[in-house]
């Protein structure tokens, strides 16, 4: 019953979020189109049951950037617009479409790349792939990023074990008001 309720909330809240943020998304889209030429970024990620899905984000890095975890990317790869989008979390807005389509939830473990073998292994041990990945989660609001796979997987497991509507809303609100930090970027 709780899974159905959370999925229903995901659909309703993501639809509301898309409608509410559409003017901002259009502004970012056209600004990015003008400045970078390619506003959206599509990347394969590992989702529920280890199925791959295509994650959508606004582009924040130069086109030549290697497809690795954010914590492994040199900060010089991030564009000036990308710095702003990351700081304000506007780069994440297209993921509301991933939530609406069912490949993600608003709250869940952040989806990893298929080449993040250590993180995938740690998450498999803890049954993390039994749930949809999310835009935010317990690890994100506590500043744990993908550079520490074991710790991240433990936070993911803890969140899944204690997931309830109260925690779901708490993580959304905490992220919305700036506590969700995302992954750090290596400084060159």
d(CA 158, CA 38): 38
Decide if 37 contacts 62 (C-beta within 8 A). Answer: no
The per-residue pLDDT for range 8-43, each reduced to its tens digit, is 999 999 999 999 999 999 999 999 999 888 899 999
User: Looking at the predicted structure, is the pLDDT value of residue 142 above 60?
Assistant: yes
Question: What global pTM score does this model have?
Answer: 0.88
């Amino acid at each position: 019953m709780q899974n159905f309720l959370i999925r229903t909330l995901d659909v309703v809240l993501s639809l509301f979020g898309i409608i509410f943020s559409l003017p901002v998304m259009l502004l970012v889209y056209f600004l990015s189109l003008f400045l970078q030429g390619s506003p959206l970024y599509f990347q394969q990620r590992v989702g529920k049951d280890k199925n791959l899905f295509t994650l959508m984000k606004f582009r924040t890095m130069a086109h030549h950037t290697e497809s690795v975890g954010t914590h492994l990317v040199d900060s010089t790869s991030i564009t000036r617009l990308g710095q702003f989008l990351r700081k304000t979390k506007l780069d994440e807005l297209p993921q509301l479409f991933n939530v609406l389509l069912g490949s993600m939830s608003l709250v869940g473990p952040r989806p990893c790349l298929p080449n993040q073998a250590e993180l995938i292994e740690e998450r498999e041990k803890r049954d993390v792939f039994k749930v949809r990945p999310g835009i935010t989660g317990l690890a994100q609001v506590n500043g744990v990023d993908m550079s520490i796979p074991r710790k991240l997987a433990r936070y993911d497991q803890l969140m899944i074990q204690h997931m309830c509507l109260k925690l779901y809303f708490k993580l959304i609100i905490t992220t919305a008001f700036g506590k969700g930090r995302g992954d750090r970027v290596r400084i060159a």
